[in-house]
């Protein structure tokens, strides 16, 4: 046990990444998000963009069904990336209290680490407006982009963890960032973390 770790899962466009960064800053803790992809790429030899793409999609049969896939090369890569991802996340967690953004860290660490598991969500209108402001316009309508991203993210999470993405039972705290705001959401998480840590 290395001290309590925060894992933040989020819907695309909810501002979860920004909330995670602000939470880490408020608590003076290390934040891991893109850094996980960079480490996997460095170890595996795969390009970062490829690792990122493969870690957000999933075969219908998941990590076990991938063995029987007709696209053996692609499936083998996904298994290798998932295996390396689990190793990287655990190694980062072993360094001490930190904040993880996505990458199924809540599942990877749940057996052996003391976690505060958070899920960030917001309504479609808020998320659609936010992705246009943050990422710019696209030929694809923002609502369609959100639905496609939600579908891919949920499928990946559910196949590799056997848990339902966004199910409150899998988290300790669920926050509607569209109602609460990014800064206040980060403050709520940080405040709860301080109280839980002090209680221990």
Domains of the chain, residue spans: 5-195
- Supply the Cα-derived Rg of the chain in whole angstroms: 17
Q: Which of 52, 75, 37 is nearest to 149 (CA)?
A: 52
In the numeric block, the tokens 């970062």 are attached to 48
* Distance from chain centroid for Cα 166: 11
CATH topology of domain 5-195: Rossmann fold (3.40.50)
What pLDDT band is residue 76 in, cutting at 50, 70 and 90? confident
Average pLDDT, the chain: 89
Question: Is the pLDDT confidence value at 31 over 80?
Answer: yes
Token pair recorded at residue 10: 């989020």
Question: Is the pLDDT confidence value at 200 over 70?
Answer: no
Q: Which of 2, 1, 3 is nearest to 194 (CA)?
A: 3
Across residues 40-59, what is the average pLDDT? 84
In the numeric block, the tokens 């339902």 are attached to 164
Q: Reduce the DSSP state of residue 1 to 3 states and report it.
A: coil
Give the model's pLDDT for residue 74: 66
What whole-number distance in Å separates Cα of residue 52 and Cα of residue 38? 9
Strands 98-101 and 115-121: unpaired
* Distance from chain centroid for Cα 183: 19
What whole-number distance in Å separates Cα of residue 5 and Cα of residue 97? 5
């Amino acid at each position: 046990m290395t001290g309590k770790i925060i894992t933040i899962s989020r819907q695309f466009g909810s501002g979860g990444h920004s909330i995670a960064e602000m939470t880490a800053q408020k608590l003076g803790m290390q934040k891991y998000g893109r850094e996980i992809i960079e480490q996997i790429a460095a170890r595996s030899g795969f390009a970062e963009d490829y690792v990122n793409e493969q870690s957000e999609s999933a075969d219908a049969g998941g990590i076990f069904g991938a063995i029987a896939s007709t696209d053996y090369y692609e499936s083998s890569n996904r298994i290798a990336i998932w295996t390396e991802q689990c190793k990287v996340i655990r190694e980062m967690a072993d360094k001490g209290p930190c904040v993880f953004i996505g990458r199924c860290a809540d599942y990877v660490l749940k057996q052996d680490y003391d976690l505060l598991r958070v899920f960030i969500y917001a309504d479609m209108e808020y998320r659609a407006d936010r992705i246009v402001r943050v990422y710019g316009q696209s030929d694809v309508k923002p609502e369609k982009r959100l639905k496609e991203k939600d579908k891919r993210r949920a499928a990946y999470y559910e196949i590799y963890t056997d848990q339902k993405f966004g199910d409150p039972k899998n988290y300790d705290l669920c926050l509607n960032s569209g109602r609460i705001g990014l800064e206040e959401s980060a403050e709520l998480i940080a405040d709860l973390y301080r109280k839980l840590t002090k209680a221990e």
